[in-house]
A and B are shown apart, each in its own frame.
Chain A
Amino acid sequence: MTIADGATRPETPQGPILTVRNLRVLFPTREGKDTVKAVDGVDFDVRAGETFGIIGESGSGKTTLARALVSLIAPTEGQILHDGLDPATLRGAAFRAHRRDYQIVFQDPNAALNPRMTILDSVIEPAEIMRDGSDESRRKAGFAVLARVGLPRELASRYPHQLSGGQKQRVNIARVLMLRPKVIVCDEVVAALDVSIRGDILNLFADLQREFNLTYVFITHDIAVVSHISDRIAVTYLGRLMEVGAAAGVIERPLHPYTEALLSAEPVPLPSTLRTNRRIMLEGEIPSPVAPPSGCRFRTRCPAAQARCAEEVPAWRQLKPGHWVACHFSTTDGPPSRDTNTLETNAFGRTK
């Protein structure tokens, strides 16, 4: 099996390759009295070939969601369908054969590599587990993927500690490419990298997506990254989705007050004269997922909260085609209490 095979794989029809229905993932606390509601009722689809960005603060359940998507954590309730198939119904060899198509790259490139294995051994290990080809063909394929992710051949015999953070993250990408997956879940894959090499890694992800027809679920807390690479964006808060829509729509005309605040909090590297200075300062921090607020989860920090928000969980409404929001008071013009005169100016609202 060589990497070049990937280019000839037939185009997948444009249906959801991942379907998430009423997903809940709950963990017992150490005392066993309470439950941490890490993911608490989430629905979305990911279309084949797209980059689906998921953004949220720490504690919003992003990483739990990422792990559940690739069957590393079993849903407590609800379903995750891979191309229409529920992997929870598969057992043994059938499950192992299935999950090779759904891979994950983790945040910390150091922790993801075995320090006692050479780079090449780490890269071909997934293929060994899958019993793909012979020793010889696996080595060949290993060198090919290393070259494809832009690593020189001489790095193959080195150990992880001899590589930089960016190189290690390339190795982790090469590892999942060995299995030629359909979907790669990327959990904060550039968070540990310097800004100067972040661009390189993001460019590599984009090239690989074109070449191998990959679908990405790109999980990050970095708004600039998610808005750059995503086709569609989901905004999470405390285990639930606040907003889902096309990237341009969510970033330039958000519908949820949380999205709006999150965008305004992003620091902008512009001179003071060009800055819009309309920061919406959220008070406090994300509440505990053990006892989330009643009604709307965001209400305790929401500048536009009203009595109704404490009583009633907001419905998941489609306000514009493909643009969904969970807020009682959002309209097609945007979030509640928003000054419609300044609609065009947020931190990312550059004219195009």
Chain B
Amino acid sequence: MAGLADISGSIAAHPPDARVSAAGAPAPALLDVRGLSLAFKTANGELPVIRDISFSVISGERVGIVGESGCGKTVTGLSLLRLLPARSVRLTGQILFEGRDLAVLSAREMRAVRGREIAMIFQEPMSALDPVFTVGDQISEAYRAHFPVDRKEGRERAIAALAGVGIPAPERRCDDYPHQLSGGMRQRVMIAMALICKPKLLIADEPTTALDVTVQSQITDLLQRLSERTGTALLFISHDLGVVAETCTRMITMYAGEVVEDAPVDDVLIKPRHPYTSGLLRSLPRLSARRSVLPSIPGRVPSLQAMPPGCRFQPRCTHAADRCAAPQALAELSRLHRVRCCRASEIALPGTVNP
């Protein structure tokens, strides 16, 4: 991944849906999450955080996970790499990565996957980097943990990786400590470190939330280009629907620890099928006439201790009916569009087009 030639051009439109090949056969999944649930073990018993999460990511795909804070986005990302301490959580379900179930791997086998097959970047690059080592050391360490190369080659690879994420004068920057870099540079360093082993999947948890909008666009553009060029699939966790709309090809909406909608980005922006997705899209100020009253979603995400028994969104939903008191299944509306709402086919919900 040497030489990122040009990061200043315009962003290409989303490629045609990669999930269906020309022959119409579904592509095999790189990551296939099936019925993933996670509970925190507390003094008062188990506290379920995410429930029955199922989705898949195919090679080269960019999938966004959106939702309010407290919806389980971050926990989902962390549990895919089993980064939560095993003694305080209970994980059930399957995390099939190229057919292998990560949920049952030993700690040692799991370490071989982290960074090599699946890498992750976090919201706050400063706390993810070690302040007492140079960024070159840290990037090189990520490579040398998986490949038997000497320090010299590790350093050369680190320099090439820094160049690949558009850091000027990488030979010099390689010897800088994290505090000597700006926020945007630090996030580039994180991306360089994450991609140095050419992982097949990159999980990015709010990678641009701490950055300014002009730097945010540089970073999302970089992620998109790297993913297109190297074929690395991207799982992009964000509360910002605009960023997901521009960066991803598919969007998964989470609410109260469940997947409530999963669809191609363009479809869901035009025609969301879950009232929660529609509510999130409608509450973006950009879509309302200046100084008009902004739509919002009444109420708040239910607490983990007091989940409604049926549809978890029902107490806040303006379309709730009697049937919503029963638990809802994530049903297929079409091969590419799944939604957890029994009324999905009978209600018309506004998206971001034609307000």
Instruction: Report which A residues bind B (CB closer than 8 A).
Output: 57-58, 164, 166, 194-200, 202-203, 206, 221, 223-225, 227-229, 247-248, 261-262, 265-275, 277-279, 281-283, 285-286, 347-348, 352
Are B353 and A271 in contact, CB atoms less than 8 angstroms apart? yes
Q: Are B183 and A285 in contact (CB under 8 A)?
A: yes
The stretch that binds A, out of B42-50, B124-132, B281-289, is B281-289
Contacting pair A273 B294 (CB below 8 A): no
Decide: B285 and A267 in contact? CB cutoff 8 A. Answer: no
B27 within 8 A of A: no
Binds A, one of B80-88, B295-303, B330-338: B295-303
Whether the Cβ atoms of A269 and B352 lie closer than 8 Å is yes
Contact assessment for A197 and B296 in the assembled complex, using a CB-CB cutoff below 8 Å: yes
The answer to whether B294 touches A203 (Cβ under 8 A) is yes
Q: In the bound complex, what is the Cα–Cα distance between A273 and B353 (angstroms)?
A: 11
In the complex, chain B residues whose CB is within 8 Å of the CB of A266: 213, 242
B217 at the interface (CB under 8 A from A): yes
Contact call A195/B212, Cβ cutoff below 8 A: no
Q: Which residues of B contact A286 (CB under 8 A)?
A: 212
Cβ contacts under 8 Å, A199 to chain B: 283, 285, 294-296
29 A-B pairs with C-beta separation under 8 A: A57-B214, A195-B68, A196-B283, A198-B296, A200-B294, A221-B213, A227-B285, A227-B286, A228-B285, A228-B286, A262-B214, A265-B213, A266-B213, A267-B245, A268-B246, A268-B286, A269-B242, A269-B245, A269-B286, A269-B287, A269-B352, A277-B10, A281-B7, A281-B8, A281-B221, A285-B183, A285-B214, A286-B212, A347-B286
Chain B residues near A275: list those with CB within 8 A.
Answer: 13, 246
Interface string of B273-315 (1 = CB under 8 A from A): 0000001110111111111011111001000000000000000
Closest residue of chain B to A348 (Cβ to Cβ) is B286
Residues A270 and B353 in contact, CB atoms below 8 Å apart: yes
B11 to chain A, nearest CB (A): 6
How many Å from the CB of A210 to the closest CB on chain B? 11
- In the complex, the answer to whether A282 meets B280 with C-beta atoms within 8 Å is no
Out of B212, B218, B288, name the residue touching A281 (CB < 8 Å). Answer: B218
Contacts of A267 in B (CB 8 A): 216-217, 220, 240, 242-243, 245-246
Does the CB pair A279–B281 fall under 8 Å?
no
A285 and B242 in contact, given A195-B68, A267-B216, A277-B13 (Cβ under 8 angstroms): no
Residues of B1-29 at the interface with A, using a CB-CB cut-off of 8 Å, are: 7-8, 10-11, 13-14
A58 touches B212 (CB 8 A): yes
User: In the complex, which residues of chain B have a beta carbon less than 8 angstroms from the beta carbon of A247?
Assistant: 290
For B69, what are the chain A residues with a Cβ–Cβ distance below 8 Å? Answer: 194
Give the complex CA separation of A195 and B209 in angstroms. Answer: 13
Q: Indicate the member of B216, B279, B290 with the most A CB atoms within 10 Å.
A: B290
